Amino acid sequence: MPRAFENGPVEWHRQKIGNKSAAAGVWKVNMKKSIILAVALMTALIAGGLVTLQAQDGASAPACWRQRGWADAQKKIGLTDEQVAKIKAELRPEKEALTTLSLRQHDARIALRETVQKAGATEAEVRAAAAKTAAVEADLAVLKANLHARIAPLMTKEQLDKINARQRKMDDFADAMIVGFIDRMVR
């Protein structure tokens, strides 16, 4: 269970927004807009998880998105040109592995979703599909951890703090969206 949910996710969500409903209190949108927002968030989270696909020639996001995203990240973090060159030098040898594992992860998630939605799917089938997804995610996590160990020393403590703060902010946002969406759905 995510870190802030000691008293349960719905109670955590209510504490964050007060005892108002999310639709009436925080976002002031109707259910249809909330669903669209949740779908957009889920899409963004999935796209963020597949950011390593930028390395694949021609199959990733449009070049203008990649360039803008990388340039924005460099600026917000405060990376120097020298740091960028060193980071790219660390990533370059892992380009194929990152791409392959990211695509395998995406395929495994699709297979899991299809299994979950399949009429008459058994618990064993769902667990098997989930296990395949977990195995690929574990392989990708190990690769990312190894890359982090090589890239983190290239950055200053302040730069790493900025990255960590941004990640915490995104985690909190995702937690609130997920809990709020589910809370509104079951009311």
- Predicted local distance difference test score (pLDDT) of residue 185: 86
Tell whether 117 is covered by a domain.
yes
**Which residues are CB-neighbours of 116 under 8 A, at least 6 positions away?**
126, 129
70-76, Cβ contacts within 8 angstroms, sequence gap of 24 or more: 76/162, 76/166
Asked whether residue 25 is domain-assigned, the answer is: yes
Q: Is residue 1 included in any domain, yes or no?
A: no
State yes or no: pLDDT of 126 exceeds 80: yes
- Mean pLDDT score across all residues of the chain: 77
- pLDDT for 144 equals 93
Asked which of 131-135, 141-145, 175-179 is least confident by mean pLDDT, the reply is 175-179
Separation CA 151–CA 160 (nearest Å): 10
What local confidence, expressed as pLDDT, does residue 137 receive?
A: 95
Whole-angstrom distance, CA of residue 154 vs CA of residue 147: 11
**pLDDT of 42 strictly over 70:** no
Q: What are 10-29's pLDDT values in tens digits?
A: 454 445 544 444 434 444 44
What pLDDT score was predicted for residue 22? 43
Tokens of 121: 């799917």
- pLDDT higher than threshold 60 for residue 63: no
Total number of domains constituting the chain: 1
Q: Is 179 exposed, middle or buried (0-12, 13-18, 19+ CB in 10 A)?
A: buried
Q: Is residue 3 part of a domain?
A: no
Tell me, what's the pLDDT at 57? 44
Q: What domain range includes position 51?
A: 9-185
Q: Is residue 2, in this structure, part of any structural domain at all?
A: no
The pTM of this model reads: 0.60
